[in-house]
Structure 1
């Protein structure tokens, strides 16, 4: 593909993307045309491909991504000062031609090694959960955590405590110069199986949160639905739940939500209510004993071959940059198309980051009913945001803007590429579980952790997380693989990046080639051959979405 300075993504675009930092006065060529740059253009930012007049709409990815509020000559830089958020209106579903699925012949006979659950789901990991129904029980959950993690061999080496110990000793010896000049080798942060008592259990995870009471009742119901999804999740062998007793998130609501998912859970679930258990010591001792015995049983499970149709892959982006929609997002989108063609499921969430591409997703829906549900959820979410004094147009973060995503529509058009091109088979509200193979749209915020928390609760047994700026986000039960949009990030932050799609920007690989590599990585990750960087760092982020106000 050769070296390029700029890229025009779609034939109808009137913007070019700078693939490297360009100087004012420099000439750039594209499609046989030559432009003289009117401004310095930082890498990842956008320049006008033609003269733009105030009021003109600007197009990227073939979609409207903004309106200019002043004249911008060809070769001029688009900024937050001269370009405003603007999107196309959307309406009811228009029938589209059928989807041409990618060729998946070479993967049709492949499998991954997973944990087969009695309900037919297959896990890519094997965890035990300890969950509070209300924030009042967080302290008791942490008591159990402190009792278990070190003794069972799941605690990463505490390199920072050792570091402070070394500094303390040098201080006591009066050697401040040694402290100032000290250089440390990279620490060992990953555990090996030999450190663990239970070799077939990947860990015991503790989902503390600040919900369960004090907000509106709908928030507690949504929390119970989310926790039910985690308990039912194929990566979970069993769970221990702590309840206070008087909170809004009652045990009965959790049990109803589990019943909605399955009439026969077929995995151990131990529930303890403190107000009915006597002393704290009595409750926690019993919880620890039953949890330990449950883990003894869970350790008997072993990985066995499973078809790729048993994969449910969530697609997330965070710390996005101006290359995310060009390299990382379409690459994972192609991997998702391969998975759906093989009978698996894909989840695309972050509804605020679908602003401006609604019509495409509406038209890709396989029925009017599914399209109408998407329209309804998007409209209600947008109205609620505006009623609170905000709006989807306020979604880009300072980091997004600094790295070239200057409007929400521009960010959304690139973010939607994570959904590939396959038909939309289902639209889910928050805390609903994936039931349909193919592409599922899940209503979540754009917040990285709230979104990944929700996708895991809806059944994602792998999550691909694209980033251009870098983020450490992980999840307690679902492996989260970080996919960098550019090689510089992968080289600068190798402790958090798992896959580098920078070769797409340099022209060394196509999106299709990168997507195929990602699918092969997913198969190995699902088989337990790798631990993601987030898993190695024990990064267990869990934030339920609180949709209402506090009362």
Structure 2
């Protein structure tokens, strides 16, 4: 019989409902009977003791809120009776010691990747088009239409065929002669647009330059075509300086075109198509070769989280993260607003005290900017999060942080900085799914593990996004966006370690190109830079 409640940490004073619970139901839990006082949906939290106003609510072993009013034992926690609260952090409080997991079964495993001259290894081989300023977005879209029509020759979708039938006033149109037929076998051609590069503060343009430079340097990219208008804040020289700062010896083709120096749009696009096609054809000669798992740089992300995310999917990523670190690979934990309440643990895990100081400084500056804007980290949980049991930011954060496992923090990066060390890395990003995923790839991630309890189609132009569901119901309902699910953990059929082994095997197949992620099959190519400033 499936358990009805679970306590995540031995010091917790709340438990999570694993199934829907009826009012009046008596549950035997930890050698005592608990009467459920009101109907409680699965994923929500039950009080294991009586809370008076101001009492501390502990989950995952940390403070996640305080009682807003009296909460009786057996009652459900809600946004009405609980308010966000987290412990203050002032610096390192204890030494950290880590016992790495046994990786004997993985140490000789490889994936088939694209080896770059600087030693990085890509899981994809992509030629990327992007603008330095939003004024060039239209030209990027024109190039996208040209290249996709001629290089991809995609089979019409069911919706396109439906529209044809409606236009032609017939019951249906089935054209079996139209099939997908990519011209090139070993390279994808992708396109990025964005709303930045001018009009905002100069710091935002400089930040965007770093982000775009990170995409160029990412091992999944074979080369790029860059469009500039000419008069914008994000000048070509600023972009080149950002590239040089990340990789002074970059040896990839970077084709740059400035419209105000080239005459008509037609003349510029003609030159771009001719030059880019030659470069893409050359990049297509790159072949996959074996690479050790230490060459995996994996971003850790969550979005559309639910009350099971921190129990099944996120801890599974945590074990995978620890395995990668033990194999000398890299795991990147981001979303700083969703680390609120677990800062002390992360500070203590920092190998270098400079990194612990940097982490706290970035967290404080971020929170201040949010408060100055009239909000706060306590506003982070979305309506979907709250509906599915994540009622405070600290509660959401404590579960989200599980993605980072238990290993030492080797480095802390601000937004736009690029990975320079293996191991667990903290990267300052917003909690916004796409902004954070965009930044993870810009920091060098060649794959992203993305947990979700509610479902999200998020993808990326250059890196595979592996969607990990926290529950089986989601995987059944939205099979077109979910790659792998961890509901067996909730049902007690598998433990976290078994689930992590299954996920790592899946990752190797994705990194080798033998499995395409659902986001890639959907051609989901999301890219949103983080704007920290204002428009001028």
TM-score range with shorter-chain normalisation? over 0.9
**1:121-143 deviations in whole A, cap 9, x for unaligned?**
10000000001000000000111
CA contact (8 A) 1:28 1:35 kept: yes
Q: Kindly report which structure 2 residues correspond to 1:23-34, keeping only aligned pairs within 5 A, or say none.
A: 23-34=22-33
Give the equivalent residue in structure 2 for 1:113. Answer: 112
SS in 1 for 2:362: helix
Give CA-to-partner distance per residue, 1:329-365, whole Å, 9 cap, x none.
0001111110010000010000000000000100010
How far apart are the structure 2 equivalents of 1:136 and 1:45?
47
Superimposed CA distance per residue, residues 154-181 of structure 1 (whole angstroms, 9 cap, x where no aligned partner): 6463332211112333xx36xxxx7xxx
Q: Which residue of 2 aligns with 1:79?
A: 78
Unaligned runs of 5+ in 1: none
The whole-number CA distance in structure 2 between the counterparts of 1:126 and 1:425 is: 28
Summarize the alignment of residues 56-135 of structure 1 with structure 2, pairs less than 5 Å apart.
Answer: 56-135=55-134
Q: Distance in 2 between matches of 1:143 and 1:472?
A: 25
8 Å contact 1:156–1:538 — kept in the other structure? Answer: no
Give the match's secondary structure for 2:223.
strand
Cα distance in 2 for residues equivalent to 1:430 and 1:252: 20
SS in 1 for 2:105: helix
Q: Which residue of 2 aligns with 1:435?
A: 420
What's the CA shift string for 1:219-242, capped at 9, x where partnerless?
A: 000001000000111000000000
Match of 2:509 in 1: 524
Aligned partners of 2:67, 2:217: CA distance in 1, in Å? 49
Maintained 8 Å contact 1:52/1:71: yes
Which structure 2 residues correspond to residues 461-476 of structure 1 after superposition, within 5 A? Answer: 461-476=446-461
Cα distance change, pair 156–325 in 1 and its aligned pair in 2 (3 A): farther
Large movers: runs of 4+ above 6 Å: none
Match of 2:184 in 1: 198
Alignment of 1:16-27 (within 5 A): 16-27=15-26
Structure 2 counterpart of 1:312: 297
2:197 paired with 1:212? yes
TM-score scaled by length of structure 1: 0.95
Secondary structure of the corresponding residue to residue 440 of structure 1 = strand
Given the alignment of the two structures, is residue 254 of structure 1 paired with residue 239 of structure 2, yes or no? yes
Alignment deviations for residues 80-136 of structure 1 (CA, whole Å, 9 cap, x no partner): 000000001111112334101111000101111000001111000000000100000
Distance 1:494 1:349 in 2: 26
CA-based RMSD: 1.6
Whole-angstrom distance in 2 between the partners of 1:207 and 1:362 = 36
- Deviations 1:477-504 (Å, cap 9, x if unpaired)? 0000100000000000000000100000
Q: Contact conserved, 1:466 with 1:484, CA < 8 A, in 2?
A: yes
Distance (whole Å) between structure 1 residues aligned to residue 39 and residue 304 of structure 2: 24
Aligned to 1:373: 358
1:168 aligns with 2:170: no
1:233 aligns with 2:221: no
SS at match of 1:427: strand
The aligned residue for residue 156 of structure 2 is 157
Paired position in structure 2 for 1:455: 440
**Aligned residue number for residue 487 of structure 1:** 472
5+ residue gaps, structure 2, are none
The CA distance in 2 between the partners of 1:528 and 1:161, in whole Å, is: 28
Alignment of 1:28-67 (within 5 A): 28-67=27-66
Q: Is the 8 A contact 2:438 2:528 kept in 1?
A: yes
The CA deviation string for residues 187-242 of structure 1, in whole angstroms up to 9 with x for no partner, is 99xx86xx2111011x1111100000000000000001000000111000000000
Alpha carbons of 1:310 and 1:223: their partners in 2 closer, same or farther (altered >3 Å)? same
**Range that drifts further, 383-392 or 94-103:** 94-103
Q: Rate the CA distance shift 1:73–1:20 in 2: closer, same or farther, 3 A.
A: same
The question of whether the paired residues in 1 share the 8 Å contact of 2:259 and 2:268 is answered with yes
Distance 2:424 2:96 in 1: 17
Question: Do structure 1's residue 302 and structure 2's residue 287 form an aligned pair?
Answer: yes
Q: Measure, in 1, the Cα distance between the counterparts of 2:2 and 2:135.
A: 58
SS at 1:300 equivalent: coil
Measured against aligned partners, the alpha-carbon deviations of 1:304-340 in whole angstroms (never above 9, x if no partner) come to 0011111100000000000000000000111111001
Aligned to 1:405: 390
Q: Contact 2:20–2:41 at 8 Å: present in 1 too?
A: yes
